[in-house]
């Protein structure tokens, strides 16, 4: 099994010893194979080498030790043992913007059956408080998740409109095959708006929803980036008064996909997204921002609508392999590689069906730009992508520079914060 190109793992013999089952890694994918025991006979040269090795080892042994077991009671059953995987605090203070603090914590159980992540952010000048929490129970084939997140801040510069949003949800992921799976989710969002100039008027609403999505993913590549294949996802989401007396009524359909083609050491990637929402309170899809059509503002109502399409295209080029370890920071960072990116983004939001039939080139959102991707690892284990992007609109010439963290291009746009009922 060792005289092959690639890697073989986890060999298991059949109970009668007639055949072996093992996994083999080759050209970016891993499969399970079966081989008759007769076909696994060691090569003659390898057998001779083994005899020489054991002979040398025997001659080197000068003293024999007897190892006694720690206990005569036999092996003990496993008990729950949890630990901290990553603790990442960020603290910054300036006389102009005040205190900014953020804390990320990640923990798990030794067998990986229980995993938990928590993030909290605070900015004193803007009186902003964000939090997020997710727990996963992964012992069985259906993977169960519980999560909560929230935002609390002022929506205007004058601090007259205070916004609070709190989301709680339960999700279940079930793999149908190696490449296909089903996700089910239900949750609730509580929203509150307080208007200081209108006698502290407060409005509230509750959105209860259920959603299901089916995905298909055959992407492969190195651990830094996807290099070939494609992924598809279809999602349906609904909210109405029959779902725990929800205050909103809508039905939303989302379709998205991404494809990757290797061009030598470089990769051409494209992502498409389409979404429609119907009902008395349809959702609105956001098309601006670093993860959508770059160069357009994230929160502008002009680029939000109940129906939208989006296309991103990138050419990803490896520039420099760094392999530099910054040991003097805590937590330490390992800088692995720098990639360059050329991209173009396009999108179109609309609310009425006739708008799509009458669309002209000037109505499209479109931008071009360049970017840098710096691949780093925290504690040489946890991946952390640092992204720098410059985007320029082709419609009016305006440009925006972005700094972001995380694999932006590959984020599923269907699963974003549902606050303000905007995706």
Q: State the CATH number of the domain containing residue 300.
A: 2.40.160.50
Tell me if residue 49 falls in helix, strand or coil: helix
- Cβ–Cβ < 8 Å for 143, 114: no
Mean pLDDT to the nearest integer, 66-85: 73
Is there a domain that residue 213 lies in? yes
Mean pLDDT to the nearest integer, 194-212: 91
Q: What pLDDT sits at residue 205?
A: 93
More confident residue, 422 or 356: 356
Distances (CA, A) of 374 to 75, 90, 258, 296, 412: 47, 19, 22, 23, 21
Identify whether residues 275 and 411 lie together within a single domain: yes
Identify whether residues 312 and 182 lie together within a single domain: yes
Q: Where does the pLDDT of residue 368 fall: very low under 50, low under 70, confident under 90, or very high at 90 and above?
A: very high
CA distance 191 to 247: 11
- Cβ–Cβ < 8 Å for 26, 5: yes
- Cβ–Cβ < 8 Å for 21, 11: yes
Q: What pLDDT sits at residue 24?
A: 81
Q: What pLDDT sits at residue 420?
A: 40
Q: What are phi and psi of 103, to 5 degrees?
A: -135, 130
Average pLDDT, the chain: 85
Identify whether residues 39 and 162 lie together within a single domain: no
Identify whether residues 192 and 308 lie together within a single domain: yes
Is there a domain that residue 122 lies in? no
- Cβ–Cβ < 8 Å for 218, 256: no
Is there a domain that residue 241 lies in? yes
Identify whether residues 291 and 178 lie together within a single domain: yes
Q: What pLDDT sits at residue 417?
A: 35
Q: What pLDDT sits at residue 419?
A: 39
CA distance 269 to 40: 42
Note down the domain range covering 399. Answer: 140-421
Identify whether residues 29 and 172 lie together within a single domain: no
Is there a domain that residue 194 lies in? yes
Q: Which residue has the tokens 């992924």?
A: 231
- Cβ–Cβ < 8 Å for 85, 116: no
Mean pLDDT to the nearest integer, 273-291: 92
pLDDT in tens, 52-62: 555 554 555 55
Is there a domain that residue 417 lies in? yes
As for how many domains the chain has, the answer is 2
Mean pLDDT to the nearest integer, 348-354: 85
Res 260 pLDDT > 80: yes
Is there a domain that residue 112 lies in? no
- Cβ–Cβ < 8 Å for 7, 33: no
Is there a domain that residue 364 lies in? yes
Res 338 pLDDT > 90: yes
Res 64 pLDDT > 70: no
pLDDT in tens, 171-184: 999 999 989 999 99
Closest among 228, 138, 220 to 175, alpha carbons compared: 138
Identify whether residues 190 and 306 lie together within a single domain: yes
Edge-to-edge order in the sheet of strand 29-36: 7-13, 19-26, 29-36
Q: Domain end: 11, 29, 45, which one?
A: 45
More confident residue, 399 or 198: 399
Identify whether residues 34 and 147 lie together within a single domain: no
Identify whether residues 228 and 374 lie together within a single domain: yes
Is there a domain that residue 113 lies in? no
Identify whether residues 147 and 1 lie together within a single domain: no
Mean pLDDT to the nearest integer, 141-148: 96
């Amino acid at each position: 099994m060792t005289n092959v190109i690639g890697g073989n793992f986890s060999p298991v013999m059949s109970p009668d010893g007639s055949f072996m089952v093992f996994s083999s890694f080759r050209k970016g994918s891993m499969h399970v194979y079966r081989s008759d025991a007769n076909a696994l006979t060691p090569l003659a040269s390898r057998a001779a080498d083994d005899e020489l090795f054991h002979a040398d080892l025997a001659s080197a042994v000068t003293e024999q030790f007897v190892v006694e077991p720690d206990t005569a009671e036999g092996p003990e059953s496993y008990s729950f043992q949890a630990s901290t995987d990553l603790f990442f605090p960020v603290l910054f203070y300036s006389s102009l913007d005040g205190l900014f603090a953020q804390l990320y914590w990640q923990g798990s159980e030794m067998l990986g059956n229980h995993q938990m992540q928590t993030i909290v952010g605070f900015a004193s000048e803007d009186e902003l408080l964000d939090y997020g929490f997710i727990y996963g129970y992964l012992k069985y084939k259906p993977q169960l998740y519980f999560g909560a997140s929230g935002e609390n801040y002022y929506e205007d510069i004058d601090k007259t409109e205070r916004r609070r949003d709190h989301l709680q949800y339960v999700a279940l992921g079930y793999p149908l095959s190696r490449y296909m799976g089903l996700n089910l989710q239900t949750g609730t969002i509580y929203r509150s708006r307080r208007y200081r100039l209108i006698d502290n008027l407060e409005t509230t609403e509750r959105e209860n929803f259920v959603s299901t999505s089916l995905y298909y993913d055959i992407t492969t590549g190195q651990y830094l980036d996807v290099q070939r294949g494609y992924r598809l996802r279809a999602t349906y989401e609904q909210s109405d008064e029959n779902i725990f007396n929800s205050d909103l009524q809508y039905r939303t359909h989302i379709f998205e996909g991404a494809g990757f083609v290797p061009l030598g050491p470089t990769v051409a990637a494209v992502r498409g997204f389409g979404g429609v929402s119907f009902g008395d309170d349809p959702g609105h899809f956001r098309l601006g921002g670093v993860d959508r059509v770059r160069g357009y503002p994230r929160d502008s109502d002009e680029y939000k609508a109940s129906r939208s399409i989006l296309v991103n295209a990138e050419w990803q080029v490896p520039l420099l392999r760094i392999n530099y370890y910054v040991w003097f920071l805590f937590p330490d960072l390992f800088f692995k590689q720098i990639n360059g990116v050329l991209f173009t983004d396009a999108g179109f939001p609309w609310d009425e069906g006739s708008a799509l039939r009458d669309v002209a080139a000037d109505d499209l959102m479109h931008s071009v730009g360049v970017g840098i991707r710096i691949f780093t690892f925290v504690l040489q284990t946890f991946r952390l992508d640092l992204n720098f992007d410059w985007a320029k609109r082709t419609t009016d010439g305006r440009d925006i520079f972005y700094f972001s963290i995380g694999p932006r291009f590959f984020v599923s746009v269907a699963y974003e914060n549902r606050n303000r009922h905007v995706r």
